[in-house]
Structure 1
Amino acid sequence: MNLKLILLCLLGAVLPIQGQTSVKPILLENQGTISGKVIDKKTNEPLPYVNIVVKEENKIVTGGITSDKGTFLIKNLDLKSYTVEIQFIGYKTVYKTISLTAKGKTADLKTISLEEDAIQLEGVEVVNERSTIEQKIDRKVINVGKDLLSAGATAAEIMNNIPSVSVDPQTNAISLRGNSNVRILIDGKPTNIDASQLLQQIPSTSIKQIELITNPSAKYNPEGMSGIINIVLNKNSKIGFNGSINNGVTFGKTPKLNSSVDMNYRTGKFNIYGNYGLNTGKQSNRGFINTLEPGEEDFQKFTFVNNNTSHLAKIGFDFYLNEKNTISFYTNHNIFKGSGDSKTTVNFVDLGKEDITQLFNNEDDNYSQTYNLDYKKNFKKEGHYIELEVNYNTNDNKEIGAFSTPATNYITNVGNNTLINLDYTDPISETAKLELGLETRIEDTRNKFLLDNAYNSDFAYDRNIYSAYATYSKQWGKWSAQAGTRFEKYNASALFRKVNENDATFEDDLFTLYPSGYINYSPSEKNSFNLSVSRRVDRPSINQVNPIREWSTPQVDSEGNPELFPQFTNSYELNYTRKTKIGSITTGVFYRRINDEITRTLYESPTDPSKQILSYANLNDNNAYGFELSGNLDFKKWWSANISFDAYTKKTKGIVADEFIEVDVTTFNTRISNTFKPSKNLRLQLSGMYRGRDLGLQFERQPMYKIDLGSSYTILKGSGTITARFSDVFNTMNFAFDGTKPKRQEGQFNWESQSAYVGFNYRFGTGKNKAIQRKQRDKNETQGGGGLL
Structure 2
Amino acid sequence: MKSILNTSLFTALLMLIGGSLLAQNEPIVITGTVLDYQSQSPIEFATIMLGSSQDNSVITGTTTDEDGTFTISSDTENVFLEISFIGYVSQKITDFEVQSNRVDVGTLFLSENSQTLDEVVVRAEKSQTEFKLDRRVFNVGQDLSSTGASALELLNNVPSVNVNIEGEISLRGSGGVQILINGKPSVLADEGGALGSITADMIDRIEVITNPSAKYDAEGSSGILNIVLKKEEKKGVNGSVSVNTGIPDNHSVGLSLNRRTEKFNLFSQIGAGYRELPRDNNTINQDLLTGTTILSTGTDYRNEAFYNVILGADYHINPLNVLTLSGNFAYEVEEQPSLTNFRQLGGDDLLVSEWYREENTEATNPKWQYELQYKKDFEDNEDHTLLFSALGNFFGKDQSSEFENATITGSEAPSNQQTETSFSETKYTFQLDYTKPFSDKVTLEVGSQYVITDVANDYAVSNLVNNEWIQDAGLTNIFEFDQKVLGVYSTGAYEGERWGVKAGLRLEMTDLSTLLTNTSEDNQQNYANLFPSLHTSYKVTKRFSLQAGYSKRIFRPRLWDLNPFFNIRNNFSIRTGNPNLNPEFTDSYEINSIYIFEKVSLNLGIYQRYTTDVVERVSTFENNVNTFKPLNIGTNRATGVELNGKYSPNKWLTFNGDFNYNYFNREGVFEDNSFDFSADQWSSKLTTKIKFPAAIDFEVTGQYRSQYQTVQQTVSDNFFIDLGIRKKIMNGKTILNLSVRDVFASRNRESEILQDDFYIYNFGQRGRFITLGLSYGFGKGEAMEYSGGRRR
Q: TM-score range by the shorter chain?
A: 0.7 to 0.9
Q: Structure 2 vs 1, CA of residues 159 and 165 (structure 1 numbering), >3 Å: closer, same or farther? A: same
Residues 1:629 and 2:643 aligned together? yes
Corresponding residue number in structure 2 for 1:377: 376
Structure 2: 5+ residue stretches without partners: 1-34, 45-65, 68-82, 92-107, 405-414, 463-468, 783-792
Q: Structure 2 vs 1, CA of residues 204 and 729 (structure 1 numbering), >3 Å: closer, same or farther? A: farther
Q: Percent identity?
A: 26
Structure 2 matches for 1:651-730, cutoff 5 A? 651-655=665-669, 659-679=673-693, 681-730=695-744
Q: Aligned letter for 1:354?
A: S
Deviates more, 1:408-417 or 1:673-682: 673-682
Q: Structure 2 vs 1, CA of residues 389 and 342 (structure 1 numbering), >3 Å: closer, same or farther? A: same
Question: Which residue, 579, 582, 589 being the options, matches 1:572?
Answer: 589
Corresponding residue number in structure 1 for 2:397: 397
Residues 1:493 and 2:508 aligned together? no
Question: Which residue, 425, 430, 435 being the options, matches 1:425?
Answer: 435
What's the CA shift string for 1:228-259, capped at 9, x where partnerless? Answer: 345678995521111222322222xx331244
Q: Structure 2 vs 1, CA of residues 180 and 126 (structure 1 numbering), >3 Å: closer, same or farther? A: farther
Structure 2 matches for 1:246-265, cutoff 5 A? 246-251=242-247, 254-265=248-259
CA distance in 2 between partners of 1:743 and 1:340 (Å): 31
Corresponding residue number in structure 2 for 1:545: 562
Q: Aligned letter for 1:747?
A: N
TM-score, scaled to structure 2: 0.76
Residues 1:305 and 2:325 aligned together? no
Q: Structure 2 vs 1, CA of residues 554 and 389 (structure 1 numbering), >3 Å: closer, same or farther? A: closer
CA distance in 1 between partners of 2:357 and 2:365 (Å): 26
CA distance in 2 between partners of 1:337 and 1:149 (Å): 32
CA distance in 1 between partners of 2:781 and 2:553 (Å): 44
Q: Structure 2 vs 1, CA of residues 389 and 39 (structure 1 numbering), >3 Å: closer, same or farther? A: closer
Q: Secondary structure at the match of 2:540?
A: strand
CA distance in 2 between partners of 1:609 and 1:581 (Å): 64
Question: Which residue, 416, 423, 446 being the options, matches 1:406?
Answer: 416
Corresponding residue number in structure 2 for 1:602: 619
CA positional deviation for 1:387? 2.0
Corresponding residue number in structure 2 for 1:751: 766
Q: Aligned letter for 1:396?
A: G
Deviates more, 1:358-367 or 1:447-456: 447-456
Q: Is the 2:584–2:615 Cα contact (8 Å) retained in structure 1?
A: yes
CA distance in 2 between partners of 1:153 and 1:50 (Å): 28
Corresponding residue number in structure 1 for 2:480: 460
Q: Structure 2 vs 1, CA of residues 129 and 601 (structure 1 numbering), >3 Å: closer, same or farther? A: farther
Residues 1:336 and 2:350 aligned together? no
Corresponding residue number in structure 2 for 1:56: none
Residues 1:320 and 2:316 aligned together? yes
What's the CA shift string for 1:642-694, capped at 9, x where partnerless? Answer: 22111122222434675212232222211111111232512122321111112
CA positional deviation for 1:395? 1.7
Q: Is the 2:685–2:704 Cα contact (8 Å) retained in structure 1?
A: yes
Q: Secondary structure at the match of 2:745?
A: coil
Aligned length: 663
Q: Is the 1:130–1:146 Cα contact (8 Å) retained in structure 2?
A: no
Corresponding residue number in structure 2 for 1:281: 275
CA positional deviation for 1:554? 2.6
Q: Secondary structure at the match of 1:524?
A: coil
CA distance in 2 between partners of 1:429 and 1:122 (Å): 44
Residues 1:650 and 2:650 aligned together? no
Corresponding residue number in structure 2 for 1:25: none
Q: Is the 1:325–1:378 Cα contact (8 Å) retained in structure 2?
A: yes
Q: Is the 1:328–1:373 Cα contact (8 Å) retained in structure 2?
A: yes
Q: Secondary structure at the match of 2:444?
A: strand
CA positional deviation for 1:451? 2.8
CA positional deviation for 1:188? 5.7
Q: Aligned letter for 1:535?
A: K
Residues 1:483 and 2:503 aligned together? yes
Q: Structure 2 vs 1, CA of residues 427 and 330 (structure 1 numbering), >3 Å: closer, same or farther? A: same
Q: Structure 2 vs 1, CA of residues 116 and 648 (structure 1 numbering), >3 Å: closer, same or farther? A: farther
Structure 2 matches for 1:123-134, cutoff 5 A? 132-133=128-129
Give the aligned CA root-mean-square deviation in angstroms: 3.8
CA distance in 1 between partners of 2:221 and 2:293 (Å): 38
Corresponding residue number in structure 2 for 1:555: 572
Q: Is the 2:284–2:296 Cα contact (8 Å) retained in structure 1?
A: yes
CA positional deviation for 1:385? 2.2
CA distance in 1 between partners of 2:43 and 2:168 (Å): 45
Deviates more, 1:696-705 or 1:277-286: 277-286
Question: Which residue, 470, 478, 482 being the options, matches 2:490?
Answer: 470
Corresponding residue number in structure 2 for 1:22: none
CA positional deviation for 1:751? 1.8
Corresponding residue number in structure 2 for 1:585: 602
Q: Aligned letter for 2:256?
A: D
CA distance in 2 between partners of 1:132 and 1:327 (Å): 32
Q: Is the 2:746–2:767 Cα contact (8 Å) retained in structure 1?
A: no
Q: Secondary structure at the match of 2:517?
A: strand
What's the CA shift string for 1:317-337, capped at 9, x where partnerless? Answer: 111111221111111223232
Corresponding residue number in structure 2 for 1:760: 774
Q: Structure 2 vs 1, CA of residues 292 and 516 (structure 1 numbering), >3 Å: closer, same or farther? A: same
CA distance in 2 between partners of 1:313 and 1:235 (Å): 22
CA positional deviation for 1:481? 0.8
Q: Is the 1:257–1:279 Cα contact (8 Å) retained in structure 2?
A: yes
Q: Aligned letter for 2:779?
A: G
CA distance in 2 between partners of 1:375 and 1:243 (Å): 25
CA distance in 1 between partners of 2:574 and 2:502 (Å): 47
Q: Structure 2 vs 1, CA of residues 542 and 48 (structure 1 numbering), >3 Å: closer, same or farther? A: farther
What's the CA shift string for 1:486-532, capped at 9, x where partnerless? Answer: 0122111111123xxx3111111111110101101012221111111
Deviates more, 1:283-292 or 1:206-215: 206-215
